Amino acid sequence: MFDFLIQGFGVALTPLNLGLAFLGALLGTLFGALPGIGPINGIAILMPLAYTLGLPAESALILLAGIYTGSEYGGRMSSILLNVPGDAGAVMTTLDGHPLAKKGLAGPALGLSAVSSFIGATIAIIGLTLFAPLLAIVAVKFGPAEFFGLMIFAFASMSAMMGKDPIKTLIGAVLGVLISTVGVDSGTGVLRFTFDMPELYDGIDFVVMIIGLFAVSEILLMLEHAFRHDQDGEMAPIGRVMVKMSEVLYCKWAILRSSVIGFVIGVLPGTGASVASAVAYTTEKRISDRDNTFGTGDMRGLAAPEAANNASAAGSFVPMLTLGIPGSGTTAILLGALMLYNINPGPMMFREQPVVVGGLIASLYIGNVMLLLLNLPLAGVFARVLQVPRWLLVPSVAILAFVGVYQLHSDLMAIYLMLVIGVFGYLLRKFGFSLAPVVLGFVLGGLMEENLRRALSISGGDVGILFQSNLSIGLWIAAALVVLVPMFAGKLKAKFLPAARPS
């Protein structure tokens, strides 16, 4: 394996491939920072260009992989600074990242997220190097029933986000699941909640949902604040611009735990960074949030999802390279890039295409270092976004939102739908609802329904298939423990440690 990796570094360290790795990291960071673009669209735009320019397969893959990993870094910027996730994996970053920015810690928050992303990605790339074949064997055992159990576990983990108002969290998650059912039922062809509008037959696009829910609602809140105070609004303080080593060490266990969680979930085909960051955040909240500081600007709550989503991105290469199965939507496009070059991913790829695989894995190490060196010094520059006057910031966010949706769909209906969802998100926030459970319900609801249908189709309608394998049973038990253990722990604590009576 080490001989294989040395050969890969020989490929990745050529001047052309070094330049392409840096270009991919830079463009990926920009694509991730702009809401609505993200890694999938960035790769889809540049993949034909790379092929047309006649780049070798390994060089094209190095460029596209750099865009993918760079987007995971870039997605945190708008999440922390504007409370608008750059992509699905950055939704959980808003929960503690934006409150930190409001406290004048935008610079340290950006720096910590860069360090967490670097550590998470590095651990995952080492895992990819050492354990790819073994992990692929485990991943292929996940069928529809096991994936359904994993979604149940993810929903059960969401109970850690409930905090002081579990009813609102539950309502938000249910609303997200309901929105995910809009469109034509893939199993029966029945129209669900389309109101005779052909534009809704394909369901509600995730980009429309995320930009409307976060960006448009944030614009409305900014406008409300400006009108209410009849002024440009208070400038957010910048404070320090660099993260301290003590702050990184404070989050070390959160980063390490979340890196492992993100990598393992990334290896599972079809999950992706959104599931990894959600499970990592909720797990860390259960373990570390003893003072109810998560959601108010806790650095561990920022470090956990950032480490997990970058680890998940690297982990998703495992099933793509070893089984020919995309681990995420982005690696599905990378799979298409390999097929453009008549390369068939799978178990024989390591033997038949050592230059391509070795160069790709080595470039992930190099690109990860480039991203850290690129993002850390610029944390203070990006933090200055909070000093932009509202009269300029509001229309800038609005333009990004409209352009991001329109360039994907070229349809005014998508714009109208985004505005409706934005007003809906604004009302939810005014009534004290968190938007994260809504988004998680939307993402996980579709995956859960799809895998439940597949499992029941395989078994002829017998629900027993959901509990047949040891993996399924383990996931159901884990989901039950996640919900029940805190409940009983709280009752035991109240029984044996009664509150002190006032004197």
Pick 397 or 364 by higher pLDDT. 364
Q: Mean pLDDT, to the nearest integer, of 136-163?
A: 71
What is the predicted pLDDT for the residue at 232? 46
- The answer on pLDDT for 500 being more than 50 is no
What is the predicted pLDDT for the residue at 226? 67
Q: Mean pLDDT, to the nearest integer, of 245-256?
A: 89
For the chain, the structural domain boundaries read 3-147+211-412
Q: Mean pLDDT, to the nearest integer, of 94-104?
A: 86
pLDDT tens readout for residues 376-388: 877 667 656 556 6
- The answer on pLDDT for 473 being more than 70 is yes
Half-sphere CA count of 327, side-chain side, radius 13 A: 35
> Using CB atoms within 10 A of its CB, is residue 166 exposed (0-12), middle (13-18) or buried (19+)?
exposed
Which amino acid does the sequence have at 79? S
Q: Mean pLDDT, to the nearest integer, of 211-227?
A: 77
Lowest pLDDT segment from 10-19, 195-204, 336-345:
336-345
Rounded Cα distance between 337 and 57, Å, is 8
What is the predicted pLDDT for the residue at 355? 82
What is the predicted pLDDT for the residue at 255? 92
Which amino acid does the sequence have at 236? A
Which amino acid does the sequence have at 501? R
Give Cα separations from 188 to 191, 443, 453, 463 (angstroms): 9, 21, 11, 19
- The answer on pLDDT for 470 being more than 50 is yes
Task: Tally Cβ neighbours within 10 Å of residue 138.
Answer: 14
Q: Which helix (H) or strand (E) holds 184?
A: strand 183-184
Confidence tier at 307 by pLDDT (50, 70, 90):
very high
Lowest pLDDT segment from 252-256, 318-322, 397-401:
397-401
Average pLDDT, the chain: 79
Quote the longest CA-to-CA distance of the chain: 81
- The answer on pLDDT for 237 being more than 60 is no
What DSSP character marks residue 192?
E
pLDDT above 90 coverage of the chain, percent: 7
Q: Is the pTM of this model over 0.85?
A: no
End-to-end CA distance of the chain: 69
What DSSP character marks residue 152?
H
Q: Mean pLDDT, to the nearest integer, of 184-205?
A: 81
Residues 6 or more apart whose Cβ sits within 8 Å of residue 92: 277, 278, 280, 281, 304, 305, 436
Confidence tier at 326 by pLDDT (50, 70, 90):
low
Residues forming a β-bridge with 191: 184
pLDDT tens readout for residues 27-60: 888 777 776 566 776 777 677 777 778 888 888 8
Q: Which helix (H) or strand (E) holds 183?
A: strand 183-184
**Letter string b/e over residues 211-220, b meaning 16 or more CB atoms within 10 A of that residue's CB:** bbbbbbbbbb
Confidence tier at 503 by pLDDT (50, 70, 90):
very low
Rounded Cα distance between 213 and 421, Å, is 6
User: Which pair of tokens denotes residue 222?
Assistant: 């900014």
What is the predicted pLDDT for the residue at 247? 86
Nearest to 23 by CA among 401, 351, 252, 363: 363
The alpha helices in 290-435, defined as continuous H runs, are 299-315, 317-323, 329-340, 349-352, 354-375, 379-383, 390-409, 412-430
Q: Mean pLDDT, to the nearest integer, of 61-74?
A: 86
- The answer on pLDDT for 231 being more than 60 is no
Q: Note whether 295 and 95 are within 8 A (CB).
A: yes
Nearest to 108 by CA among 293, 251, 214: 251
Residues forming a β-bridge with 192: 183
Rounded Cα distance between 366 and 363, Å, is 5
The C-alpha angle with vertex 450 and arms to 449 and 452, in degrees rounded to 5, equals 65
